[in-house]
Amino acid sequence: MTQIQTNLLSVRRRMAAAAQSALRSPEAVCLLAVSKKQPADAIREAYALGQRDFGENYVQEGMDKQKQLSDLSICWHFIGPLQRNKTREVAENFQWVHSVDRLIVAERLSAQRPDHLPPLQVCLQVNVDDEDSKSGCASDEVEALAKAVAGLPRLTLRGLMCIPKPGNTAAFTELAKTLQQIQATISGLDTLSMGMSEDLEPAIAAGATWVRIGTALFGARQ
Q: Which residues bind ligand PLP (CB under 6 A)?
A: 34, 36, 57, 79, 163, 196-198, 212-216
- Burial (0-12, 13-18, 19+ Cβ within 10 Å), 73: exposed
Cβ 62 to ligand PLP shortest distance, Å: 12
Pick between residue 26 and residue 219 the one whose CB is nearest to ligand PLP. Answer: 219
Pick between residue 152 and residue 196 the one whose CB is nearest to ligand PLP. Answer: 196
Pick between residue 104 and residue 220 the one whose CB is nearest to ligand PLP. Answer: 220
Pick between residue 108 and residue 212 the one whose CB is nearest to ligand PLP. Answer: 212
Cβ 33 to ligand PLP shortest distance, Å: 9
Task: Name the residue among 135, 125, 96 with its Cα closest to residue 113.
Answer: 96
Task: Name the residue among 81, 43, 35 with its Cα closest to residue 221.
Answer: 35
Residue nearest ligand PLP, CB atom distance: 214
- Burial (0-12, 13-18, 19+ Cβ within 10 Å), 180: exposed
Cβ 172 to ligand PLP shortest distance, Å: 14
Cβ 54 to ligand PLP shortest distance, Å: 12
For 114, half-sphere exposure in the C-beta direction (CA atoms, 13 angstrom radius) is: 9
Task: Name the residue among 79, 126, 87 with its Cα closest to residue 105.
Answer: 87
Pick between residue 45 and residue 154 the one whose CB is nearest to ligand PLP. Answer: 45
Pick between residue 173 and residue 197 the one whose CB is nearest to ligand PLP. Answer: 197
Cβ 116 to ligand PLP shortest distance, Å: 28
Contact 95, 77 (CB under 8 A): yes
Cβ 45 to ligand PLP shortest distance, Å: 17
Question: Measured at the alpha carbon of residue 103, what is the angle toward residues 76 and 170, in degrees to the nearest 5?
Answer: 70
